[in-house]
Amino acid sequence: MRRIASTTLVLGLAVALTAGGRPAPERYEIDPAHTYIGFSAKHMLVTNVRGRFNGFSGHITLDPLDVTKSSVDVTIEVASIDTDNDRRDDHLRSADFFEAEKYPAMRFVSKRVEKKGADLVLVGDLTIRDITREVAIPFELAGPVSAGGRKSIGVEASLRINRFDYGLKWNRAVETGGLVVGEEIRIDLNVEAHTAAAGE
């Protein structure tokens, strides 16, 4: 009986030490007031038109000991597109492009984080108009830092996609050759996210 009790105590201490010695992954909610989700596309072969999405939500689950075990889930409201031109925005919301009424949201769900030397790459599925393709997003992570009873992190990233891959195929040719709207879209991300404040 004494041997059984001793064995049970040792196992219990081992479990407690293991659980207490490794911090659990933490959930960070994306802060819309301090986050920018923007894009740019070539127009008439000569300049870039820039825009952003103003409506989005999501979270980052960060493993403090191994960033490759972290994950991301973000949803973007298509109708919130904003290029500072109402006519253009309405066209982008139409069936020629995003068809926002039928496909109201875009979503990115990560599969894994890869570490290549000092570089980090987030790999996951991007869904636009119900078409899902895997993308790789190089990113930089800042933080976490603690203030006001909660932790904060920042993520800066960019990637390029071909809009034709997601069914965004409207276009017109210009007289000198090429397309009015370029196929390649650059997406720029500056994200701030926070844990819940103490007591919440």
CATH of the domain at 174: 2.40.128.110
175 pLDDT higher than 70: no
Three-state SS at 169: coil
Does residue 180 belong to any structural domain of this protein?
yes
Helices (H), the chain: 2-21, 86-93
User: For a pLDDT cut of 90, what percent of the chain falls above it?
Assistant: 64
117 domain-assigned: yes
- Please check whether residue 163 lies inside any domain of the structure: yes
In a domain, 2, yes or no: no
How far apart, in Å, do the first and last CA atoms of the chain sit? Answer: 45
Q: Is residue 18 part of a domain?
A: no
Residue 47 in domain: yes
Provide the whole-model pTM.
Answer: 0.83
- What single-letter DSSP state applies at residue 195? P
Q: How far apart are CA 119 and CA 115, in angstroms?
A: 6
By residue range, what is the domain housing residue 37?
23-194
pLDDT above 80 (res 82): yes
Asked, for residue 32, whether it belongs to a domain, the answer is yes
Give the C-alpha separation, 52 to 155, whole Å: 17
Separation CA 104–CA 41 (nearest Å): 21
Return mean pLDDT, the chain.
Answer: 84
In a domain, 12, yes or no: no
The total number of structural domains in the chain stands at 1
